[in-house]
Amino acid sequence: MRVVSVDTIHPILFSQLEGAGHEVVDVSQLNDSEMLLALENADGIVMRSRLDVDSKFINDHLKLKFIGRVGSGLENVDQIATDSNDVVVFTSPEGNRDSVAEHALAMLLAWLNNIVQANSQVKGGQWERNLNKGEELKGKTVALIGYGNTGSAFAKLLLGFGVRVLAYDKYRKDFKETAIEEVSMGEIYRDADVVSLHIPLNDETNYLVNQEWLASFSKPIVLINTSRGKIVQTDALITGLQKGQLRGCCLDVLEYENARLKMPDFSTLPSALNELLSNDRVILSPHCAGLSPESYYKLSEVMANKIIQRFGRA
């Protein structure tokens, strides 16, 4: 098969596919017009977020056998179109689950212990011990919405801290891990101190976190989002912070990111972003939770293995 890579991918994918007898062409450095020309005779495409695979694209590339999205999200792939044209879609969330889980834990610990604020104050010449007292993670109830690759990886880390871990997954039941409590959303609304999102962005989850959702909790929570920005409505976060429904937020993603996970110029964005930026109870990072060197390798290795397992050797 002729496999075309349109994004920067770890070379382990190329070496494994070539070792299995497939031709791999890297067009990641070409401009968009040149890239599209290179895709005309592709049997498979390996990508991250550069390409939008819609129904027109699929109909224009009827030779395609598969799309490989190196990562987890598929919001830039029309799965109805791929299914109807027998195009196999691969993802590799196993590759960055540990990096995302560790990043979520790091943000939570930083929030609980006022690390970001304390660091800024000390570097500014302030020595405010009492203002920066932290609190222990041990004994808290952390709820996971979604118990797939990243949700389960985060749960394993949390258990080492003596945390009660609740998990709700609409599409996965009967968890094997006995230390994880499989619960309803009602139980999460009642008991959670911290809520972490580990779900894909789709029609069902778009703006899942809105004002009504936040108002359902019986006590203020800390919200963690390392999934996709548009799962969370920023205006609802601002209201939740103002009303005391949210103690704080740890956000690696924001709703203003475009389909390629880029952020527009901040000056062009709604005022709600400025309120997030100026709020000491909010910790932000630039959608980098899954970008470790280790995950860069594993994402591509997992993808290559899935392609070879499905299509074999040439």
Does the pLDDT of residue 152 top 90, yes or no?
Answer: yes
Q: What is the pTM for the complete model shown?
A: 0.95
Residue count of the chain, please give it: 314
**pLDDT at residue 83 in the model:** 95
Spacing of C-alpha 142 from chain mean position: 18
Q: What does the pLDDT average to over 33-39?
A: 93
Q: Please tell me the least confidently modeled range out of 3-7, 61-65, 245-249, 310-314.
A: 310-314
Instruction: Express each pLDDT in 171-207 by its tens digit.
Output: 988 887 779 999 999 999 999 999 999 999 999 999 9
**pLDDT at residue 259 in the model:** 80
Instruction: Express each pLDDT in 75-84 by its tens digit.
Output: 889 999 999 9
**pLDDT at residue 77 in the model:** 92
**pLDDT at residue 178 in the model:** 78
**pLDDT at residue 260 in the model:** 82
Instruction: Express each pLDDT in 244-267 by its tens digit.
Output: 999 999 999 999 998 888 999 999
**pLDDT at residue 51 in the model:** 92
List residues bridging with 25 in a β-sheet: 4
Ordered by where they begin, the domains of the chain are 2-95+293-311 (3.40.50.720), 97-284 (3.40.50.720)
Does the pLDDT of residue 314 top 80, yes or no?
Answer: no
Instruction: Express each pLDDT in 91-102 by its tens digit.
Output: 999 999 999 999
Instruction: Report the SS3 class of residue 314.
Output: coil
Residues 6 or more apart from 149 whose CB is under 8 A from it? 72, 93, 94, 97
Could you tell me if 142 and 158 are in contact, meaning their C-beta atoms sit under 8 angstroms apart? Answer: yes
**pLDDT at residue 203 in the model:** 92
CB environment 4-39: b (16+ within 10 A), e (fewer) = bbbbebbebbbebbeebebebebbeeeeeeebbebb
Spacing of C-alpha 53 from chain mean position: 19
- Closest by CA to 241, choosing from 264, 209, 263, is 209
Distance CA 109, CA 86 (A): 45
Instruction: Report the SS3 class of residue 292.
Output: coil
Residues 6 or more apart from 170 whose CB is under 8 A from it? none
